[in-house]
């Protein structure tokens, strides 16, 4: 499997479909493509020998700014 070729083809497909993406590197051994679509966020990681896909879906609830306190409380060290 040629993952560099696959990565480039994947990026071209996203562009053809007018889907916004961002490249990121959070691990030394891979390149991550972060994709944001309505109600979902995708993380597609291209390793030398495999591709991993993770999808995060919204539960549909919209919170006001007071919910930020909950997020900081739950996710701060």
CB 35 within 8 A of CB 46: no
pLDDT of residue 74: 95
pLDDT of residue 3: 85
How far apart (Å, rounded) are the C-alpha atoms in residues 29 and 48? 8
Q: Is the pLDDT of residue 8 over 90?
A: yes
pLDDT, tens digit (0-9, with 9 covering 90-100), for 19-61: 999 999 999 999 999 999 999 999 999 999 999 999 999 988 9
The pTM of the full predicted model, rounded to 2 decimals, is: 0.81
Task: Say if residue 59 is exposed, middle or buried (CB neighbours under 10 Å; 0-12, 13-18, 19+).
Answer: exposed
Q: Is the pLDDT of residue 77 over 80?
A: no
Best CA proximity match to 33, nearest among 58, 60, 62, 6: 6
Q: Is the pLDDT of residue 1 over 90?
A: no
């Amino acid at each position: 499997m040629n993952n560099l070729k696959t990565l480039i083809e994947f990026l071209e497909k996203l562009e053809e479909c007018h889907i916004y993406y961002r490249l990121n590197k959070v691990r030394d051994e891979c390149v991550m493509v972060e994709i944001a679509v309505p109600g979902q966020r995708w993380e597609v990681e291209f390793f030398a020998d495999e591709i991993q896909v993770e999808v995060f879906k919204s539960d549909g609830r919209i919170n006001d700014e007071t919910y930020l306190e909950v997020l900081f409380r739950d996710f701060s060290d």
